[in-house]
A = this chain, B = another copy of it.
């Protein structure tokens, strides 16, 4: 709830005891946070925090306000819960069709978060080869499709469409590791670990190579993206990954990722949507909205 933001800021400061620590936890700057507080204090005409060298501590006015804030946040939660009850997004089953690329880290995290808010919702996640996910919407086998480079876009009502940057994954001590970005041309001197053909990312890579008149000759082909990535470890071999599929803790495997400059070739589209003309059950619609929001934020 956006209108509670400022209140949550205040609450966080009261809990951490200092502007800077609160700011860090909130993911904003101390200065921004500070000005928010100064603004509130000006609105109230009273200071709500005592300024100590060690940080901020609520004064009596602050304590009164904090009580209000905590109540208000709790009340809002209750309101949201009641609204969720009567609009039916509380319960239901959601079947999701997706491709291997999209599913690795993004979807599990998202489902987990959604489940925290709507525990009674159940999920089915079904992985398809390129092109098949969209088809599966036709007979309502699945409610939502999240796919990379869809083939049957006509059948879909898309809610989110966005390009996905391709990253090249390599060992941390690889000759190319220092680069800000690399071109496909730079890659051909090293062993290439590529996904098998119908995979969307392979398509994009082949197109990029084709543009400059070369053919990619993979040292290893597999449809296990994880296998490909691990093969890069401690070798000169290169593998590739979409932004959405990039593991957050690559460093732990002594790997790093470098964006691939595709030289004007259209980076592939990631698409989320449902069957055209179908009105989704509320639970599914709600989740799709969450998907859309998160994709938009993560890959802008």
- Given the interface contacts A4-B3, A7-B3, A43-B2, does A61 sit within 8 Å of B87 by beta carbon? yes
Is the pair A43, B1 in contact by a Cβ cutoff of 8 Å?
Answer: yes
Q: Is the interface of A mostly helix, strand, loop or mixed?
A: helix
Write out the residue numbers on chain B whose beta carbons fall within 8 Å of the beta carbon of A5: 3
Write out the residue numbers on chain B whose beta carbons fall within 8 Å of the beta carbon of A82: 64
Instruction: Give the CA-CA distance A82 to B75 in the complex, in Å.
Output: 21
Instruction: Give the CA-CA distance A39 to B2 in the complex, in Å.
Output: 9
- With beta carbons under 8 angstroms apart, the residue of B61, B80, B83 that contacts A83 is B61
Q: Is A173 in the interface zone, CB < 8 Å from B?
A: no
For window 2-24 of A, CB contacts with B under 8 Å fall at: 2-7
Q: Count how many chain A residues have C-beta atoms less than 8 Å from C-beta atoms of the other chain.
A: 32
For window 46-105 of A, CB contacts with B under 8 Å fall at: 46, 60-61, 64-65, 68, 71-72, 75-76, 79-80, 82-83, 86-87, 89, 91
Instruction: Give the CA-CA distance A6 to B72 in the complex, in Å.
Output: 15
Q: Is A45 in the interface zone, CB < 8 Å from B?
A: yes
Q: Is A297 in the interface zone, CB < 8 Å from B?
A: no
- Given the interface contacts A3-B7, A6-B3, does A83 sit within 8 Å of B64 by beta carbon? yes
Shortest distance from the beta carbon of A36 to any chain B beta carbon, whole Å? 10
Write out the residue numbers on chain B whose beta carbons fall within 8 Å of the beta carbon of A45: 87, 89, 91, 286, 289
Is the pair A87, B289 in contact by a Cβ cutoff of 8 Å?
Answer: no
Write out the residue numbers on chain B whose beta carbons fall within 8 Å of the beta carbon of A89: 45-46
Is the pair B3, A83 in contact by a Cβ cutoff of 8 Å?
Answer: no
Write out the residue numbers on chain B whose beta carbons fall within 8 Å of the beta carbon of A289: 42, 45
A-B complex: 5 closest residue pairs judged by Cβ atoms:
A61-B83, A68-B79, A46-B87, A3-B6, A45-B286
27 contacts between A and B (CB under 8 A): A1-B43, A2-B6, A2-B39, A3-B3, A3-B4, A3-B7, A42-B289, A44-B80, A44-B83, A45-B87, A45-B89, A45-B91, A45-B289, A46-B83, A46-B87, A61-B83, A61-B86, A64-B79, A64-B82, A64-B83, A65-B79, A65-B83, A68-B75, A68-B76, A71-B75, A72-B72, A72-B75
Interface residues of A, Cβ cutoff 8 Å to B = 1-7, 39, 42-46, 60-61, 64-65, 68, 71-72, 75-76, 79-80, 82-83, 86-87, 89, 91, 286, 289
